[in-house]
Chains A and B, each alone.
Chain A
Amino acid sequence: MGDGGTLMATRPVPLEAIESLAIGAWILGTGGGGSPYLGLLNMRQLYRRGVVVDLMDPMDLADDALVAVVSSMGAPLVGQERLTDPRTIERAVRMMEDYLGRRFEAVMSLEIGGGNAIQPFMAAAGLGLPVVDGDCMGRAFPEAQMTSFAIHDLPMFPLTLADVRDNAVIVARAESWKWMERLSRTACVAVGSVAGTCKAPRTGREVKACGILYSTSKAIRLGQTVQAARRAHHDPVAAVVEAEGGRLLFTGKIQDVARRTTEGFLRGTATVEGLEAWRGHVFSLAFQNEFAVGWLDGEPRVTTPDLICVLDTVSGDAIGTETLRYGQRVSVIALPAPAILLTPKGLEHVGPRAFGYDLDFRSVFEMTTLP
C-alpha cells in the first residue's frame, strides 16, 4: 500500500461506481440475472451510513487465501416481495467460515450479470472484507454448472444457504455440479424460493487460474460508458459496442413475445422487426432466463456463450426477458465472451447444445461477413 507500484491495487469503490455497476451488470445479465435495483438501494443506504467497500485486484490474492463466492438464489418475483437484505448473504458467508473453521479474506460474485453483481458488495459491507474484481460467469447463466470453476472441474462443495429466518443448510458433498444444483435448489424452494448462498470456497490460486478476472471493473466501465453517452446526448448503444469491442447485430422493434415456464425456467422467443438499416429483415431470439440464440432471417447469427444483449435503442438500458413487450425499440448487440467459455470444455457447459439447440457454436466475432 502507498507505494504506487501497482495499477490495480485494492481501492475504495465510490457510490457512483456502484450506480454504474448496476447499469453495466444489467447489460451483462444478457436478459436474465434479475434487476440490480434493490441491491443498489441497499448499497445507497450502507454508503449513507459511512460504509465504503474495497475492490481488490485478484492478482493480489495470496495463493492460499480463501475467497467466498456468493449469490442470491431464487425467483426474482419472491425477491420483489422479500426485498434483498445484506444480512442474509452475510450469514451464509459466516456459516461457511464456521463450517470450515477458517476466515475468508475476500468475497467475490458468482455471476456479474444482473443483481448478483451487487451481492458481494452487500456481504463485504458487513464482513469488512474486500470484493475481488471478478466472477465465474462473466455474464448471467441459469444453472450452477455453468461457471468457469465447473469448467475447470473444481470441487462444487460445500455450499451454505441461509434464509431471512434462522434456517440454514449446508450441502456438505455433492456427486456432481448437477446434483449440487438439485440439492441447493430444493432447499431454496423449501425456505420460500429466495436465499443467500455461499458457494464452494476458492483459494487465491484457484481464483487467479480459473476465475473470470476483472469482470467487476468491466461492468462498472460499461455502466459509465452508458452514462457518459447519455450525458453527451450520444448514442449509448454505439458507445457500448465501441468501448467493449462488441458488435451491433440488429436494430428494430419487438414484434412478438412468447413465454412459458418449464422446469422452473422462463423460456420463450421474441421476434424483432428491422428498422433503419435492417428494414425488411427479421431477428429472432430464444431465451432460457437469458438470451441463448439469435437468428437473422432464419439463419443462426449468434449463440451462447457470446453475450447477447437487448438494449433500449434510445436509453441504452438493458431489457430483461421478463420485461420484453411488443413495440419496444431495441438494439441487439453481442459482446465477447470470456475465453474460458469458448474452449471445447467450456462449450460443453455453456454452448448452444447445453441449452438444447442442435447448433455448433461459431462466435459472431469470428464471422467477417455482415448482413
Chain B
Amino acid sequence: MRRRIGIDVGGTNTDAVLLEDDRVLHAVKTPTTADVTSGIVAALRDLLARWRAAGGGGPVDAVMIGTTHFTNAIVQRRHLVAVAAIRIGLPASASLEPFVDWPEDLAAVARGEIVMLAGGHEYDGRPIVPFDTAGMRAAARRIREAGIRSAAVASVFSPLNPECEDRAAEILAEECPGIAVTRSHDLGRIGLLERENVALLNACLVDLARRTACAFAEALAASGVAAPLYLTQNDGTVMLASAAEAFPVYSFASGPTNSMRGAALLSGRDNALVIDVGGTTTDVGSLRHGFPREANSVVEIGGVRTLFRMPDLLSLGLGGGTIVTGDGDRLTIGPHSVGYQLTERSLVFGGFELTMTDVAVAAGLLDLGDRRRVAALPPRLIEAALARAHAMIEDGVDRMKIDAREAPLIAVGGGCFLVPPRLAGISEVIHVPHQAVANAVGAAMAQVSGEADQIFQGLSRDEAIAAARQLAEDRAVLAGAERTTLTVVEVEDLPLAYLPGNSLRTRVRVVGDVAGS
C-alpha cells in the first residue's frame, strides 16, 4: 500500500490531500499565506488531525508539493539574483546577445555579466569551431571577482551535443567554488534564444528555489512527517526536492498540470480534455495517457519567450467570480473578476457586483448564498450570460482538441458548475468527487519522467524513435525512476526542411514510478 500526501500551493488556497493508493482518504483547504510555509504547516496540521480523528495513522511514503511561487517571482520581478550569461557559439550568434528581447525591467535585475565565447556545434554534432576553454577560464575568474553566484550556459546545438556546456560547467566549478550553474541542454529544446532564456530564468531563481525547498523541508519536519519530499513539475511528474531546487523553471506550470493529472485519477480517464474553472480564469488542456499534452511552441513567461517542457494550455478569462455587465447587445462577460472577494462582492453574498456565480444561482445551477438577492434578475439576461459562457467554453475546448473525433471532457475547479452538460464535439461531460482539490490529488499521484529531443539522420522513423526512447529511459532512471515501470507517453517526429539525408527530429517522453516506493 502506498500512502502519499499531495499539497498544492495556489494563489488563494493551499490544498492538501492524503492518498492511499489511488483513493482520496482526506482533503483540506486552507488560505495561502504570504510566507507560503505557514500555510503548508497549517494544511498539513489539519490533514493529519482529520486522519487521526478518523482513527488513521502510520507512515507516509512521500510528500509532493506543487507551487506557483517561482512563476510569481518572475512575474513580480522579486527575489531574483543577477546571473552570468555564458553563450558559446562564436563566431555564430554574435549579434544577438543574451537577454535580447527581454522586458527591460526584468533584464535589469537578472543581467549580471555577459560572456560570449567561441565554440558550439553544427546540426549534425560536428563542432562549429573549437571551444575557447582559456576564454572560459578567464571569464570564470571575472565572474568570481564580480561576486556573481549563479550562471547560465547556452551553447549552439547543445541539445544534440552538450560537450561545450558540460566543459564550461566544470571550469566554472573549478574557478568559482559554490556557484550554481544552469546548463541550457538540461532544460530547453532546439531554438538557441528560447532555450537560453529558459536557462537564464532558471539561473535567476536558483537562490529562491534553494530557500523555498529548505523551508518546505522544515515545514514537513515541524509537522512530524518523516517522508521524502518531492516537488511537482510542469509535465505532471516529480523530482526529489533536493534535485528539483536546481530546476525551478520546471515548476512554472505545475498548478494547472496537477489539476489535469488529478482529474485523470478522479475520473479514471486517461485520454480526455480537462477544463479547470477557477474564480478568475479557466484553463483547458488535453490529457493523453494521463499526462497533459505538451506545448510545442513558444510560451511567454513574464514577457520572456521560452521553449521547454510546458503543458499546452488555453486560458480563458472566465470563472465563478467573472463580472457580468450590460444587457442585450451590450452584454459583456469579464475579463474582470471579483476573484477571492467573491464572498463579499457578489450579489448572493450581499455585494453589488453581478458575477457568473450569481447567474448560476439565479439559473438554479448552484445553491450558494442568498438566492433571493438574484430572484429579480431578468431571465433573458441569465440565459444570455450563460449562453455566452457556454460558447466561450465550447470554443476553448474545441481549440484544444487534437483531432475531429468526439472526446470526453472532465470538469474540475470551483467554477465547474459553468460547464454545460452537453457540448459540441464532446462525447460526455464528467464531474468527479473531490474536484475542488484535484490539483493536490494530481500532486500526490505524480511519477518520474525522462525526455529526449534530437535530430536523427539516415535512420528510419522507427529506428529514430527507438534511439530516442533509449535516451529518454536512461534520463528517467537518472531522475529517480524505476526502469521496469517506464512507459512511453509521448512520441513526436517532425521531418526537417533543407537538411540532407532524411533528417528527422524526434521527441520521446517516458514515465515511471518513483524508484523504491
Residues in A lying within 8 Å of B, measured CB to CB: 38, 41-42, 45, 74-78, 80-87, 164-165, 189, 192-193, 253, 255-256, 259-261, 264-266, 273, 289, 322-323, 326-327, 329
Contacts and interface: CB of A to CB of B under 8 A. Distances in A.
B192 A83 contact: yes
Nearest to A255: B404
Given A41-B101, A83-B193, A261 B123 contact: no
Given A42-B95, A255-B404, A256-B403, A265 B190 contact: no
Nearest to B496: A77
A174 B122 CA distance: 28
Contacts of A266: 495-497
Contacts of A256: 403-404
Interface stretch (B51-59, B69-77, B393-401): B393-401
Contacts of A76: 497-498
B427 interface: no
A274 B500 CA distance: 37
Given A81-B123, A81-B192, A327-B399, A193 B499 contact: yes
B96 A83 contact: yes
Contacts of A80: 190-193
A320 to B, nearest CB: 11
Nearest to A191: B122
A189 B499 CA distance: 7
B156 A261 contact: no
B96 A326 contact: no
A82 B156 contact: yes
B93 interface: yes
Given A75-B497, A192-B128, A193-B498, A326 B92 contact: no
Interface in B217-242: none
A260 B192 contact: no
A50 to B, nearest CB: 15
16 contacts: A76-B498, A77-B123, A82-B89, A82-B156, A82-B192, A84-B95, A164-B91, A193-B500, A253-B398, A256-B404, A259-B495, A261-B503, A289-B497, A326-B403, A327-B398, A329-B399
A261 B495 contact: yes
A322 B495 CA distance: 10
Contacts of A165: 91, 128-129
Contacts of A77: 123, 190, 496-497, 499, 505
B397 to A, nearest CB: 10
Which 10 residue pairs of A and B lie closest in terms of their CB atoms, listed nearest first? A261-B495, A75-B498, A266-B497, A83-B93, A82-B92, A164-B92, A192-B122, A164-B91, A85-B95, A80-B191
Given A80-B191, A259-B495, A189 B96 contact: no
A261 B496 contact: yes
B114 to A, nearest CB: 14
B96 A259 contact: no
Q: How large is the interface on B (under 10, 10 to 19, 20 to 34, 35 or more residues)?
A: 35 or more
A83 to B, nearest CB: 4
Interface in B61-103: 89, 91-96, 100-101
A103 B91 CA distance: 26
B297 interface: yes
Contacts of A193: 122-123, 498-500
B157 interface: yes
Interface in B359-410: 398-404
- Of A81, A83, A253, chain B has the most CB atoms within 10 Å of the CB of A81
Contacts of A189: 499-500
Nearest to B497: A266
B515 interface: no
B475 to A, nearest CB: 21
Interface of B: 89, 91-96, 100-101, 122-123, 126, 128-129, 156-157, 190-193, 297, 398-404, 494-500, 502-503, 505
Given A41-B101, A81-B123, A261 B502 contact: yes
Nearest to A259: B495
A147 to B, nearest CB: 18
A86 B96 CA distance: 10
A87 B191 CA distance: 20
A346 B404 CA distance: 40
Contacts of B94: 85, 87, 164
Given A41-B100, A75-B497, A260-B495, A82 B398 contact: no
Nearest to A83: B93
Given A81-B192, A83-B192, A256-B403, 11 more contacts: A45-B96, A75-B499, A76-B498, A86-B95, A164-B91, A192-B126, A193-B500, A261-B497, A264-B497, A323-B297, A327-B401
Given A85-B93, A87-B95, A192 B192 contact: no
B401 A82 contact: no
B410 to A, nearest CB: 19
Contacts of A83: 89, 92-93, 95-96, 192-193
B92 to A, nearest CB: 4
Contact of B191 (A81, A86, A264): A81
Contacts of B123: 75, 77-78, 81, 192-193
A264 B96 contact: no
A74 B503 CA distance: 14
Contacts of B100: 41, 45
Contacts of A81: 89, 92-93, 123, 156-157, 190-192
Nearest to B121: A81
B499 A264 contact: yes
A327 B400 contact: yes
Nearest to A189: B500
A280 to B, nearest CB: 14
Nearest to B124: A192
A165 B126 CA distance: 14
Contact of A38 (B96, B495, B496): B96
Given A38-B96, A82-B156, A192-B123, A326 B495 contact: no
A260 B398 CA distance: 26
Contacts of B502: 261
Nearest to A268: B495
